[in-house]
Amino acid sequence: MGWKAAEKLIRHWRILRGDNVMVIRGKDKGETGVVKRVVRSQNRVIVEGKNLVKKHIKQGQGHEGGIFTVEAPLHVSNVQVIDPVTGKPCKVGIKYLEDGTKVRVSRGLGASGSIIPRPEILKIRTTPRPTVEASVVSTGDFNKDFFVTWSPNHVNTSADGHQRSLKLDQESGAGFASNQMFLFGQVDMQIKLVPGHSAGTVVAYYLTSDQPNRDEIDYEFLGNVDGKPYILQTNIFADGYDNREERINLWFDPTKDFHTYSILWNLHQIVFMVDWVPIRVYRNHAEKGVGFPRWQPMGIKVSLWNGDSWATRGGKEKIDWSKGPFLASFRNHKIDACVWNGNARFCRAESSTNWWHKDKFSSLTSTQRKLFKWVRKYHMIYDYCQDNQRFQNDLPKECSLPKY
For residue range 314-336, list pLDDT tens digits in order. 888 999 999 999 999 999 999 99
Angle formed at CA 380 by CA 377 and CA 382, multiple of 5 degrees: 130
The yes-or-no answer on residue 216 being catalytic is: yes
Q: Residues 156-198: pLDDT tens digits? A: 999 999 999 999 999 999 999 999 999 999 999 999 999 999 9
The b-or-e profile of 271-299 (16+ CB within 10 A means b, else e) is: bbbbbbbbbbbbbbbeeeebbbbbebbbb
The yes-or-no answer on residue 245 being catalytic is: no
Residue 128 per-residue DSSP state: P
- Name the catalytic one among 216, 246, 317, 398: 216
Domains and CATH numbers, the chain: 19-122 (2.30.30.30), 136-400 (2.60.120.200)
Say what the pLDDT of residue 378 is: 93
Q: Residues 110-122: pLDDT tens digits? A: 788 888 877 654 4
- Name the catalytic one among 220, 246, 317, 398: 220
Helix (H) or strand (E) holding 233: strand 231-237
Q: Residues 226-270: pLDDT tens digits? A: 888 899 999 999 988 888 999 999 999 999 999 999 999 999 999
Sign of the torsion formed by the C-alpha atoms of 89, 18, 273 and 221: positive
Going by C-alpha positions, the residue among 102, 98, 100, 76 that lies closest to residue 21 is 76
Q: Which residues, 6+ apart, have CB-to-CB distance to 247 below 8 Å?
A: 231, 232, 233, 234, 380, 381, 382
